[in-house]
Amino acid sequence: FFLSLKLEKKTKGKLQKQICQVVLDHFEKQYTAELGDAWSSVRDVLTSPWCWQHALLLNRFSPNPGLESSLAEQGYHPAFPAALPYLPAAFRCYSRTAPGRFPAQKHQPGRLKDYYLLNAASLLPVLALEVQDGEDVLDLCAAPGGKSVAVLQCAWPGHFQCNEYDELRSRWLEQTIESFIPDPLISLITVSKLDGRQIGDLQPEFYDKVLVDAPCSNDRSWLFSADPQQAVLRLMQRKELSSLQSQLLRSAVKALRPGGSLVYSTCTLSRAENSDVIDLILSSHSNVMPVDISGVARGVSQEFSFLSGMQQHELLVLPERGRAWGPMYVAKLKKVSSS
């Protein structure tokens, strides 16, 4: 016991040193103003990686008969209750309150993985999108591919375009799809490397559903920026992200058919990259309406902690001890007519 305590202290000390003070100071100022009292408990989790939790999304294309009973023995339970407005039978995700990560599976060409390790909150955008079989779907900023894989656990789209502009991340996306999706089905997926801001002009009114999991200031990873200079540069460029996010959203709206819907998500707490971006789109597009997703938040309120006072078309998952999921912002919009 004393040895494990010693190890824990050593680990804590090691991780504590890695926190980037310049980022923490920046967050402290911004999030105290934006989140009020909620920030101190969120900061406590974000700066304590040893209390982070990981969930497993099971791969329906590679059933492993013993896996679910093995997970149950280790204290895992289904993360999403049947009370959700949209929860396909094949969609199975397991989590537990204890921190720690289940062993990862290595990529082996020609062999499918049984599960995908992730932050359970990152599945909320996919569940909010409510993809049905046969729909044409676009994942606008798809790498590393977890949400694309999750979409395919829910339904089989008629056409599924997974787009990633960055060359390196695009290769990562291709490998993820290869690891989780069998060959006959891969042929129905298009992996493209287009600038997401141009897709709306290139493919106007082509999709029933669009997921915009936008590039954002990733609060979890930025706090542990090893290079202080890089961190300072990131914080300076942070102001420009909302402009990129707005452009991606405008493109997504153009790519949607009338009657189609889109989900926008980020893994930051920043209001400028979340509610402000959505408000801008709603105020500048008369053909776009907010969609109520409060049912999603209600359905998972046992598993996730949310910031109160949000609009009905948005939610923000706040990490807390024992429910260390997020940050994850999710908003849903619908296109009611051609522009």
Residue 144 known to bind ligand: yes
Q: Which of 57, 60, 93, 56 is nearest to 181 (CA)?
A: 60
Residue 292 known to bind ligand: no
Q: Which structure tokens are listed for 258?
A: 């009338």
Three-state DSSP at 301 gives coil
Catalytic residue among 20, 93, 162, 267: 267
93-95: strand order across its sheet? 77-78, 93-95, 55-58, 115-118
End-to-end CA distance of the chain: 65
With contact defined as beta carbons under 8 Å apart, do 184 and 236 qualify? no
Q: Which of 163, 176, 154 is nearest to 84 (CA)?
A: 154
With contact defined as beta carbons under 8 Å apart, do 219 and 269 qualify? yes
| DSSP run (H or E) holding 25 | helix 21-35
Residue 147 known to bind ligand: yes
Residue 146 known to bind ligand: yes
Question: Is 20 designated active site?
Answer: no
207-213 and 136-139 as β-strands: parallel, antiparallel, unpaired?
Answer: parallel
With contact defined as beta carbons under 8 Å apart, do 126 and 190 qualify? no
Residue 213 known to bind ligand: yes
Residue 142 known to bind ligand: yes
Q: Which residues are annotated as a binding site?
A: 141-147, 164, 195, 213
Q: Which residues are annotated as a binding site for S-adenosyl-L-methionine?
A: 141-147, 164, 195, 213
**Which residues are known to be catalytic?**
267
